[in-house]
Structure 1
């Protein structure tokens, strides 16, 4: 193959007051059953050579670097970039042409994956085109010249264009995500801007965006949060008041560390766990692309569903309830961490955790060999995990210890994220179909 120049294509575009309770068992689908492809690829092709696996990992790292360097200010927009790029890669890599020899199918898949992610990212992050072109060139240099490489590159370009075009105007750009939301009249239980910035509500527009797999944003809308006169509500508010206060004498050092460790962006914090799952996978490039695509499609749809429930109920944040509510009001109470500018119920961090855990459990199993995780909001702290569920448990506790969510909002978030992820997994073949 004569090396072609890389062209840019226009966008077509700790301590619990009560234990965590999740719904009964998460999905137990096997990776092989869920990720079975619709191509004529024989079973022998399901055990890729190490170089094949490295292409998926290389482009995973390239995607993460691209978003870190040129990402949007809104998390869901960056999740969308992941989802589009890897959906295109999964579609391209699974369509191995009939004329490609069995021994060359891995080369086709590698070229298709790299090409699809490259062309998607250059459209979505054009400021990184030079770096992306270099990355593609380096990948293609590892693939033997020939029809498998040529057709893989062409398939990746085509699927990137189709995926980009299918998501045009989906309402997940930063301006649409943060569409204006009028502050409601103050009333018991109703969200109000929170100190110290008293900023306008954010992420309202997510609930108006077009999902990837869900039929509509309210498809899995949660039931209402606990009533203000319920024993559960009083107990949970007391827990946040005690453990989530900036000057709390009950919160342990470990609990404070948990709150700080999980304070940052869920997208950032879950990039390494997903990378661990990908790096330890022995699946084909096509199946690895499907893992990454399903993870981020589930996360986009979860963030849409989260905002739908948040703005359907408009539940006030603990700082508002504790300062102005009828239960022993304390106007000076301050949470450990500043409260984000959107309603309490459900916790977005925990909808993210629920969805991430559901996808990883379904596709790679509930446990893995120990892996270390660091956090940009807790410099110098390293935690070690052997199960995805442990991440969820810590997220639930963290938001209480930060003083920014009630436990019911956290637990409900896990349920919502799990429900959305289950739906996405059940509809995987429809997502990967190329018609």
Structure 2
């Protein structure tokens, strides 16, 4: 699954597609630029997908920080996108530094100088540094320990396999690469195997007389697999009227993380099962023990085989991960027409009226190309849907930053140190109302939440006190200073709390103020409580913005107010 070769044609295809689309905002512009630089770097698909996940996650975190520091200042968000993209791409694609510097200068020239631009640049550079540091040890550069399956003394092809380290990589969203590992491929003696075998033998052969001209066009189109072919589909939604920079930053982060996790999951299954490609199976059709399969010793697929085992289909899992995420993003609204172009089809553009049609075409194409069986594509679609749904729940459906009320601004010389994301519950207990004998009501008891840093790595916990405790033993306790209603009616209020250290030296020790913002859920149960002592846990998420004395922080941009 490598597309390092048609890189020149890819640049033309990307330019053609970009010319047909309005450039909506800094996020979509820089996503296109990053894709072009990836193509020019001639990188294979798995590492290219990883690069885009890092870049888009950094962009998402940069926009979130910039909008909190400079609410309502579009220049801050745009500068954050540019700085995060440049800083992460410069590290990951150093050979593209000249082109990257040109794009960065052009982006900043449109914004001009000023405090908003400076704040955005600082937010972008710091977000990129955090995400790069977090993903530096994700396993992508681990040792290649793949062992070909062979009898002693027997020759096997000696070409290097693709991404053998990927099953051991640290995912973004999944608990492990094996979280969605499917059941084994069909038994070779089964009717299902015979169906799969004979379908790809007939429709996927280089010299097939049964594959139609249209099927061949589709197959050639999806021979390409680098990130731009999928990110253009995402832009079909991102370019819809009325979307904000923050929404698109979040969407591309979710899509890129889902795609990277999809390849981790599919490589886990591929190298776990080590199932043979159609060209191997069909040339050995007399050895599978199935009377319904006949060998063809000279059979060849329409396209070259990727350098990894067959089961399941990687293209199918990518398409379904993206498609499921887009369905969640649009929700009950109308799905815009989806479109993308492919350099392996001479820059042609294909369009779909629905997500399902898009996903099914990708799956069909892999059979018509002669490199996958039908079952493999079906399993890939199931896995991709699971990962897309996970991305929607973990990233894409998180609240977009709203402006923080002036009343919640920390006082004095304080600057933003870190943004921590909480996921957990607000605990309520049914208690007697002292002012109304015989009446019981819900009373807030304490939070119970896990804390994650800007890149999604776990950093500690949040519990009664209220306390925030980091994994290094540093701990702070807060005292309420101000509150404001949340924009969402069913969400707990936004807060400003003073903080003091009550634990060891470390990550949280210098925090002096905490803002709770971007809350979702957590409000007291709507149903009346029945008996004293009854408890209920209400799920919630929130961002906790940690502030410290300006001289002790890396970010020297004053918070609003």
TM over 0.5: yes
Partner of 2:245: 285
Structure 1 stretch 114-123 or stretch 363-372: which is displaced more? 363-372
Partner of 2:384: 417
Partner of 2:328: 362
Is 1:70 the counterpart of 2:41 in the alignment? yes
Alignment of 1:146-225 (within 5 A): 146-173=114-141, 176=142, 179-185=144-150, 199-225=159-185
What are the ranges of 5 or more consecutive residues in structure 2 without an aligned counterpart?
1-21, 287-292, 399-420, 422-451, 456-543, 545-561
Offset, 1:117: 1.1
- Larger Cα Rg: Structure 1 or Structure 2? 2
SS at match of 1:325: coil
Distance 1:99 1:402, change over 3 A: closer
Offset, 1:356: 1.2
Alignment of 1:80-91 (within 5 A): 80-91=50-61
Distance 1:162 1:307, change over 3 A: same
Distance 1:321 1:250 in 2: 20
Partner of 1:306: 266
Offset, 1:145: 3.6
| Contact 2:161 2:307 (8 Å CA) reproduced | yes
Scaled by the length of structure 2, the TM-score of the pair is 0.62
Is 1:137 the counterpart of 2:86 in the alignment? no
Offset, 1:96: 4.3
Higher strand share: 2
Distance 2:99 2:319 in 1: 31
Q: 1:211-270 CA distances to partner (integer Å, 9 max, x unpaired)?
A: 122221101111111111211111111111111122222111111112111112252422
> RMSD in angstroms over aligned alpha carbons?
2.6
Is 1:124 the counterpart of 2:96 in the alignment? no
Offset, 1:99: 6.3
| Contact 2:255 2:391 (8 Å CA) reproduced | no
SS at match of 2:214: helix
Is 1:233 the counterpart of 2:183 in the alignment? no
Higher relative contact order (CA 8 A, sep 6+): 1
Scaled by the length of structure 1, the TM-score of the pair is 0.78
SS at match of 1:121: helix
Distance 1:219 1:354 in 2: 17
| Contact 2:316 2:384 (8 Å CA) reproduced | yes
Distance 1:384 1:426, change over 3 A: closer
Distance 1:150 1:344, change over 3 A: same
Distance 1:93 1:412, change over 3 A: same
What are the ranges of 5 or more consecutive residues in structure 1 without an aligned counterpart?
1-50, 187-191
User: For this pair of structures, how many residues does the alignment match?
Assistant: 371
Superposed structure 1 runs of 4+ greater than 6 Å apart: none
Partner of 2:481: none
Partner of 2:438: none
| Contact 2:301 2:371 (8 Å CA) reproduced | yes
Q: 1:283-339 CA distances to partner (integer Å, 9 max, x unpaired)?
A: 221221111111111111110110111111111112222111333222122222222
SS at match of 1:377: helix
Distance 1:89 1:64 in 2: 14
Distance 1:97 1:65, change over 3 A: closer
SS at match of 1:427: helix
Distance 2:24 2:215 in 1: 38
